[in-house]
Amino acid sequence: MSSFNRRVFLLSSAAALAGCGFAPAYGPSGAATRLQNTILVDAPTGRPSYLLTRYIEERLGRGSPGRYGLSYSIALTQEAIAISANNVTTRYNILGTVTYALRDLQSGAVLLSGKADSFTGYSASGSTVATQAAERDAEARLMTILAEQIVTRLTAASASLPE
């Protein structure tokens, strides 16, 4: 019989976090609330940039008019990672990199910049239609991963942004 009590642990953990100044990023006095509906993301120019913009706006809201502007550049490459004995590629990786910059729309100054990168894979062993669907799905998953990295970094830096 264990004497471990989860309620005591959770209450003591919450008290310790409150004592160190921890506050939820999107709480009533959280620093990330200043990002909500204030970032104007550059207009998408293709499917990958549309997916990236859509996800960022889902998380942070659409800034119109925006206080900050978010510019980005997407680079995608594919590489074969599995080749059959018949010399047919059966699996691909899509590697993606997004270079981004958050700027103050009033002054034009760059407040934050960085790079997010990741990869996803898909199978090319089915029919042509199945392979194309798998590729589009992998691209969508990759854009979600990259957008999540950007939103996380913006949230982490939100306390240092001008109001």
Check residue 85 and give its pLDDT.
84
How many Å apart are CA 37 and CA 65, to the nearest integer? 9
Q: Look up the CATH superfamily of 34-160.
A: Lipoprotein like domain (3.30.160.150)
The pLDDT value recorded for residue 64 is: 77
pTM exceeds 0.75 for this model: yes
pLDDT of residue 65: 80
Task: Output the pLDDT for position 35.
Answer: 82
Please, what are the averages of pLDDT over each run of 10 residues along the chain (163 residues)? 59 56 62 81 96 95 86 96 85 96 93 96 90 95 97 89 77
Residue 154, pLDDT score: 93
Q: What angle do CA 71, 49, 125 make, to 5 degrees?
A: 145
Q: What local confidence, expressed as pLDDT, does residue 10 receive? A: 57
Predicted local confidence at residue 88, as pLDDT: 83
d(CA 115, CA 110): 14
Q: What is the pLDDT of residues 112-155, one digit of tens each?
A: 999 999 999 999 988 999 999 999 999 999 999 999 999 999 99
